[in-house]
Structure 1
Amino acid sequence: MSRRNGIHDGTVNVAILGCGRIAHHMAQTLHDMAGDERYSTLIRPYAVATRDDDPRAERFADRYGFDRAYGSYESMLADPEIDLVYVATPHAMHARHAIACMMAGKNVLVEKSFTANEEQARKVLDVASQTRLLCTEAIWTRYMPSRRIILDTLRSGVVGTPRQVYANLSYPVSDKARMTDPAMAGGALLDVGVYPINFVAMAFPEATPRSVTSSCVFTDRGVDEQFSATFWLDNGVAATIDSSMVSVGSRQGVIQGDKGYLIVENINNPERISVFDADHRQIDKILFPDQITGYEYQVVSAAKAILEGATQCEEMPHEETLRIMRIMDSLRAQWGEVYPFEH
């Protein structure tokens, strides 16, 4: 069987490390991609691994049509047929698992947040540089077609000169053990707050914060439960974001200019853009393309990058991952939030 850049017949064998909730979403995506003529020759749902639980891995593999099931991460990483590993473990484990994958010769797609802090992110990217393997952050909104459509709409001038932006993402998810566990880098920021931050960064890619004012409320275990922050960008835009893991939020992204404003419904998986003029009349509604789940775009980007011999994806380059981690570190510094493993 021929190989291109180490890949069998140009098809990338994808494995999932971890079997939690997010892993199921990715597995369903890979299953559906394998049955879609647009993607079936590009990727193959190949393997899944749990930590010390063979039956669970086997049930997962059977459910989604994976070829291999492993009851330990180490045994999966020893499989020479794996080309790309999707790291689907909690934030605090991302750095360790991503590095283990690359040291085993596997390219990695690391679920957001990339790591728990910038220091960890730099260690991961140092290994990526040493191994010359693909390493990219799996924050799906960065890879979706909606990103370009939102930016094109904004740059068309339909709302005039942007002056303010507001973005929210909030879900009641505090019942999940990892979300309230400091040792797992729990809290609203890394899990849901990362999306409003990225929304602002994608809308104004050339802008950087001049100053930040923020505050948060902690859980009784000392992780951020909900927070708000205002970023004064160097392009003159005031960006206000908020997130919570105990409330249902609007999920909206609102960009306001001197001629009107636009509303993006659901910044976590954009559904449409509504455009309003200065008199609050809706003048346009823009829909986004149909998709399998939305996860397919990051998989396609990673697979193509591997086939091309690239070490990062243009949708989320390493420097941008570091910049977002740095912003989140700065927010936690304002709040005095320190994870136990950071002491």
Structure 2
Amino acid sequence: MPLATETAPLGSTGLRTTTLGLGTAPLGGLYQPVSDEAAEATIAKAWDLGLRFFDTAPQYGNGLSERRLGSFLSAKPRDSYVLCTKVGRLLRRPAEAVGEDAYYKATPPERPVFDFSYDGVMRSFEESLERLGTGRIDVLHIHDPDDHYDEAVAGAYRALDRLRSEGAIAAVGAGMNQSEMLADFARAGRFDCFLLAGRYTLLEQGALADFLPLCEQQGIGVIIGGVYNSGILANPTAGAKFNYADADPALIARALELDEVCRRHDVPLKAAAIQFPAAHPAVASILTGARNEAEIVENEALFRHPIPPALWQELRERALIDPAAPTP
């Protein structure tokens, strides 16, 4: 298993990402508030651990994540890290007062508004540059266009393609919680990388059938997020979350089976979960979120925890993972 600090090429972009990256949705106050001090300490700890791949988005804390990440990175040499953000949501202050954001806590008053048009994406890019305090973004993803595919192809992709041709960004990507539409994007345009969240994990390997082979064939770099499937692979108990909702009992039972095998081999379930997707040759980096120093320290340690080949073999024999899935 590669160390978290080793680098891998991100498709054919020329960018190299550390094999473990920091996802900053939690630092935007996802589910619970995070102070400026805690956010800075978390990013600093990730940096101290050697992580040089950072992912954010306007949606994460309604701009809070971008501002916090940009504030820290402003003191670092620009060529020493790879920075991703996203387009598809503009942050605008509602005309009338609204209640607290359903997901992000203690955030600015702006709220995200879907906009995958060419002009909207260009505005989003400029506004992200301002919040991040940088003149360059390495990877720009079309973010969650599940219900906006046609506009994303006709508008957002065209804008990103122009930004790439002008050298304003190095890579055009898309980030989603499904692989099917990402495969459609791969066939519709020239994409450099994709961020797939929650759909290639110890619990789900459907992406093996079409998406991952397609990316490998086309030289598209894949970034994997959501390796714990919203928490079920971190703590498979009653009330665990899967895909941001309460997990079905059958999924909890399957996660408990995975945990049982891991325990028999003296391996934490979370270690198997964070290492498993990294073994696929199309995968360049694993993104893990953290809201404090302890969480990023734990993730880095889990990423290099020794796992005997016998564990993977038993998971195959018990049909708990796809027999075709590469393993470390």
Q: TM-score, normalised by structure 1?
A: 0.31
> Which structure has more strand as a fraction of its residues?
1
Q: TM-score, normalised by structure 2?
A: 0.32
Query: Which one has more relative contact order, counting CA pairs under 8 Å at least 6 apart?
Result: 2
Which one has the largest radius of gyration?
1
